[in-house]
């Protein structure tokens, strides 16, 4: 495979609203991000993915865009944005913008026009259907609860919205829509950005009349066209958010010969604590062996015809330490380092979500008034109406709700964690004193430095980037063990996923070197390695 810069890169995701406020209005902003670039440089990341910063009425915190070529006033101005791109480029950091083009805001001028009449030139930018028997055209549902169709009084038709009703879906079959999108993408590429993260991109080939949403028949045709018309000639990376990707589908997107995307986010591991066939709120315990099986499947499926992205967290998922690690004071850091190790030693491009590098945790709430997220709020009302108890609903939200990831970043132990001098837009997690950047930077054994070392290992060792992956103990209920091998060298990652002590038999007389561990030493009894709670070690044979 031809080597590209993103093959050995690590990407850091910023949720701008919650990262750093610079002017005391309680809302994170672009100047705030600029002021923290040296911190990110110190961590060692190569690229930043910025969740949307474009003009938006904020029905879904920026994922409802009303002007793709302007910056949300709360975040700053286009001058600030240009300064951020420059400041990143000066530090060798590429800036990845969030491309949200499955839908716009209902306040986008295209939709305002489209709504006016059936023969408005913008009408076909969106997806309109007649009522059927005075009701919705079909049974398509919104990800944010309720039907995906909203009735428009003026013209007597329904429009499609797979997310909130303030996020009408664009009609990708309309060539004019595609051309508008290419134009807008080129506008940003000309500013010198490093690429795009593409929001729910697997939905753009939808066929609403057949109730097909993901992986529609024309999806790959559109992406190929997008590549040709926009970023194909630039040295940028692209990552598609694709909830429905299987390895076969992921290859279609990321096989370099097909000229579509660099890679996609697949979510198979993310769904493992959901009851199959139900909603994300219907959770079950994680099946650890299944997690390993999914990882191993994705590690071995590409064979050079595609590329993985690696992530535990993003702005839509709960914090991984609370989810599959242990967020008690005793084990938070150990389990956080273990989780980081098993992910970062895999093959692919790792993503770190803001706060993950200091081991931030979930923020349970007691009442619905402590929440902001539209997905959680809509679900709450929907399920109350369906007869669920308030307690059940809040338990689901505390486990899975998106606000867990969206609480402001902890920079120090001062009031409001150094995030803002004003009133934060969303209340902070209470564990600020224990978990903050300043403290992490002053502690050589912090999670921060563990992440820093993992990133450096990837930079300095081609085995991490290119090495072949082989899992060793698929049947173990407690250990995750895999090897990476490259040009005669072999590393083995041995991780204890539990808080019990577990032993692992090494091959006799194999000389070994510790590359990295979350404990100070190895505990060995003869050839048997004694793994302490959440111990994770990388050994070189
Ligand atoms: O997410 C896609 C999406 O389907 C999420 O809503 C996700 O499914 C949900 O949190 C899990 O149930 C993308 C963005 O990442 C998300 O923030 C946006 O709300 C959504 O698209 C709409 O743009
Ligand atoms: Ca601000």
Q: Give the pLDDT confidence of 24-83 residue by residue, as tens digits.
A: 999 999 999 999 999 999 999 999 999 999 999 999 999 999 999 999 999 999 999 999
- Annotated catalytic residue within 29, 199, 356, 483: 199
Query: Backbone phi, then psi, for 426, in 5-degree steps?
Result: -140, 135
Note the maximum CA span of the chain.
81
Instruction: For residue 183, give both structure tokens.
Output: 């134009």
As for the ipTM of the complex, it is 0.97
* CATH 3.90.400.10 residue spans of the chain: 109-160
Q: Residue 119 burial (CB < 10 Å; 0-12/13-18/19+)?
A: exposed
* Domain covering 8-102+175-452 in this structure, CATH number: 3.20.20.80
DSSP type of residue 168:
P
Q: Which two tokens stand for residue 100?
A: 């949200």
What are the residues facing 494 on neighbouring strands? 481, 537
Hey, how many other C-beta atoms are within 10 angstroms of the C-beta on 344? Answer: 24
**C-alpha separations of 222 from 91, 218, 500 in Å:** 34, 6, 50
DSSP 214: T
Kindly state the tokens that stand for 154.
């003026």
CA 34 to centroid of ligand 2, rounded, Å: 12
In this structure, which long-range contacts are made by residues 153-156, counting pairs with CB atoms below 8 Å and at least 24 apart in sequence? Answer: 154/115, 154/116, 154/117, 155/115, 155/117, 155/118, 155/128, 156/130, 156/131
Residue with more model confidence, 303 or 341? 341
Query: How would residue 376 be classed by pLDDT, with cut points 50, 70 and 90?
Result: very high
Q: Which residue intervals of the chain bear CATH 2.60.40.1180?
A: 466-540
**CATH T-level fold of 109-160:** Oligo-1,6-glucosidase; domain 2 (3.90.400)
Annotated catalytic residue, options 241, 326, 327, 483: 241
**Topology at the third CATH level for domain 466-540:** Immunoglobulin-like (2.60.40)
What single DSSP character describes residue 435?
S
Give 466-495 pLDDT, tens digit per residue: 999 999 999 999 999 999 999 999 999 999
In the chain, where does the domain assigned CATH 3.20.20.80 lie?
8-102+175-452
Is this prediction's pTM over 0.90? Answer: yes
Residue 506 pLDDT: 87
Atom 9 of ligand 1 has which residue's CA nearest to it?
A: 316
- Which residues 6+ apart lie within 8 Å of 179 measured at CB? none
- Rounded distance from Cα 378 to ligand 1 centre (Å): 13
Mean pLDDT of the chain: 97
The helix/strand/coil state of 5 is: helix
3-state helix/strand/coil string of 134-149: CECCCCCECCCCCECE
Position 511 pLDDT exceeds 90:
no
* 422-457 confidence digits (pLDDT tens): 999 999 999 999 999 999 999 999 999 999 999 999
Q: In the structure, which protein residues have their CB atom closer than 6 angstroms to any atom of ligand 1? A: 60, 63, 100, 143, 163, 199-200, 241, 243, 280, 315-316, 375, 402
**Model pLDDT, residue 303:** 81
Q: Give the model's pLDDT for residue 117.
A: 98
Which ligand 1 atom is nearest residue 279's CA?
A: 12
Place of tokens 């672009």: 30
Q: Is the pLDDT of residue 526 over 90?
A: no
Annotated catalytic residue 199: yes
pLDDT of residue 300 exceeding 80: yes
């Amino acid at each position: 495979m031809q080597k590209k810069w993103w093959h050995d890169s690590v990407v850091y995701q910023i949720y701008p609203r919650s990262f750093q406020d610079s002017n005391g209005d309680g809302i994170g902003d672009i100047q705030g991000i600029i002021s923290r670039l040296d911190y990110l440089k110190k961590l060692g990341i190569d690229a930043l993915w910025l969740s949307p910063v474009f003009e938006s009425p904020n029905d879904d915190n920026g994922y409802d865009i009303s002007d793709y070529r302007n910056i949300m006033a709360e975040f700053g101005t286009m001058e600030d944005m240009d300064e951020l791109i420059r400041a990143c480029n000066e530090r060798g950091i590429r800036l990845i913008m969030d491309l949200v083009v499955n839908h716009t805001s209902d306040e986008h001028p295209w939709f305002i026009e489209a709504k006016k009449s059936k023969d408005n030139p913008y009408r076909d930018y969106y997806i309109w259907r007649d009522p059927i028997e005075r009701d919705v055209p079909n049974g398509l549902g919104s990800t944010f609860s309720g039907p995906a169709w909203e009735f428009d009084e003026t013209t007597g038709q329904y429009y499609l919205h797979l997310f909130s009703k303030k996020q009408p879906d664009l009609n990708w079959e309309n060539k004019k829509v595609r051309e508008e999108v290419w134009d807008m993408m080129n506008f940003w590429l000309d500013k010198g950005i490093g690429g795009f993260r593409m929001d729910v991109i697997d939905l753009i080939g939808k066929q609403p009349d057949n109730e097909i949403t993901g992986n529609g028949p024309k999806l790959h045709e559109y992406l190929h066209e997008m590549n040709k018309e926009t970023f194909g000639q630039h040295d940028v990376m692209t990552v598609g958010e694709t909830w429905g990707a299987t390895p076969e589908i992921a290859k279609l997107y990321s096989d370099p010969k097909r000229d579509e995307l660099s890679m996609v986010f697949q979510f198979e591991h993310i769904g493992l604590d959901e009851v199959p066939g139900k909603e994300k709120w219907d959770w079950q315990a994680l099946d650890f062996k299944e997690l390993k099986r999914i990882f191993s499947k994705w590690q071995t499926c590409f064979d050079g015809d595609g590329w993985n992205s690696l992530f535990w967290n993003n702005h839509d998922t709960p914090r991984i330490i609370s989810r599959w690690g242990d967020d008690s004071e005793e084990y938070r850091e150990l389990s956080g380092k273990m989780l980081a190790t098993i992910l970062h030693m895999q093959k692919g491009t790792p993503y770190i979500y803001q706060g993950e590098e200091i081991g931030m945790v979930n923020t349970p709430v007691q009442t619905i008034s402590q929440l902001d997220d539209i997905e959680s709020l809509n679900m709450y009302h929907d399920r109350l109406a369906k007869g669920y108890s308030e307690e059940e609903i809040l338990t689901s939200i505390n486990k899975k709700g998106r606000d867990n990831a969206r609480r402001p970043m902890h920079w120090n132990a001062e009031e409001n964690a150094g995030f803002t001098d004003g009133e934060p837009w969303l209340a902070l997690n209470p564990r600020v004193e224990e978990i903050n950047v300043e403290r992490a930077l002053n502690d050589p054994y912090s999670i921060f430095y563990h992440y820093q070392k993992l990133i450096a290992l990837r930079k300095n060792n081609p085995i991490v980037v290119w090495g072949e992956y082989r899992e060793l103990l698929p049947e173990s209920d407690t250990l995750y063990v895999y090897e990476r091998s490259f040009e005669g060298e072999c590393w083995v990652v041995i991780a204890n996923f539990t808080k019990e002590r577990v032993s692992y038999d090494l091959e006799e007389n194999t000389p070994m070197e510790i590359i990295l561990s979350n404990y100070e030493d190895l505990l060995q009894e003869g050839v048997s390695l004694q793994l302490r709670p959440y111990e994770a070690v990388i050994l070189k044979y």
